[in-house]
Amino acid sequence: MGQQQAYDRRADAGSAGRAESRGQPVSAARFNIESLAVGHSETPGISRMTLVVEAADVEQVTKQLYRLIEVLKVSDVTNDPTVEREMALVKIHAPSQSRPEVVALCSVFDAKIVDVGYNTMIIEMTGTPSKVENFVEVIRPFGVKEMMRTGRIAMVRGAHTHQAPAESAESGNGHVPAQAAALN
């Protein structure tokens, strides 16, 4: 499984949605997207998109991403040491008699109870993808009414950074593969 980070000129997830609706970039090449997360980056006007793909040849995914005009830089961080996180909001059935057990499980997993209803609780769980998955499996017997997961986000450990060139936010059509290649 490969992990890609792409930088997009837009400050929202719109271009990712447009790319998917056109069958680009990865579905046209028959890659399965396991996770897609988009959000603001450290550079105003630039969004960071993290894709986790199931592909034997991650380089092909990179090439497909660069075909999108608005992609500024793609970094394959598959083999880099990374910090990965995912967040889940889970609404469970939680009548008063089961709440002490739910609170204890939240404490063990460092999860937060963010809402309490008459017979429900909404829990926020942030952690590694495997920790989030383990938490969901442990609370599933209470009865999951709703769940929303963000998908994986990642950052390379240490001093090395994966940033889009700052000048690319204002220049040309945003497609800067030569500059991006020099940064990798």
User: What are residue 26's phi and psi, to 5 degrees?
Assistant: -90, -30
**Residue 39: in which H helix or E strand, if any?**
strand 32-40
- Return the pLDDT at 1: 53
pLDDT (0 to 100) of residue 110: 97
Strand ranges for 41-142 from DSSP E: 47-54, 71-76, 82-93, 112-116, 120-127
Predicted confidence (pLDDT) at residue 24 exceeds the cutoff of 50: no
Query: pLDDT tens-digit profile of 103-115?
Result: 999 999 999 999 9
Q: How far is CA 101 from CA 88, 98, 106, 123, 156, in A?
A: 19, 6, 9, 13, 36
Measuring CA to CA, which residue among 4, 156, 6 is closest to residue 76?
A: 4
Q: CB-based contacts of 147: which residues, under 8 Å, 6+ apart? A: 88, 89, 90, 91, 136
List, for residues 37-73, the tens digit of each pLDDT value: 888 877 788 888 888 887 777 788 778 877 776 778 8
Report the range of poorest mean pLDDT among 47-56, 76-85, 121-130, 135-144.
47-56
- Report the range out of 59-68, 76-85, 139-148 with the highest average pLDDT: 139-148
Look over the chain and give the mean of its residue pLDDT values, rounded to a whole number: 76
* Distance from chain centroid for Cα 21: 19
Q: So what's the pLDDT on residue 47? A: 80
pLDDT for res 30: 65
Mean pLDDT, to the nearest integer, of 141-157? 91
Task: Say if CB 46 and CB 9 are below 8 A apart.
Answer: yes
**Dihedral of the alpha carbons of 161, 162, 165, 170, in degrees to the nearest 10:** -120
**Amino acid 176: pLDDT:** 42
**Which residue's structure tokens are 């929303």?**
148
d(CA 102, CA 156): 34
- For residue 162, what pLDDT is reported? 65
Q: How far apart are CA 51 and CA 30, in angstroms?
A: 14
Local confidence band at 36 (pLDDT 50, 70, 90 cut-offs): confident
Query: Does pLDDT of 88 surpass 90?
Result: yes
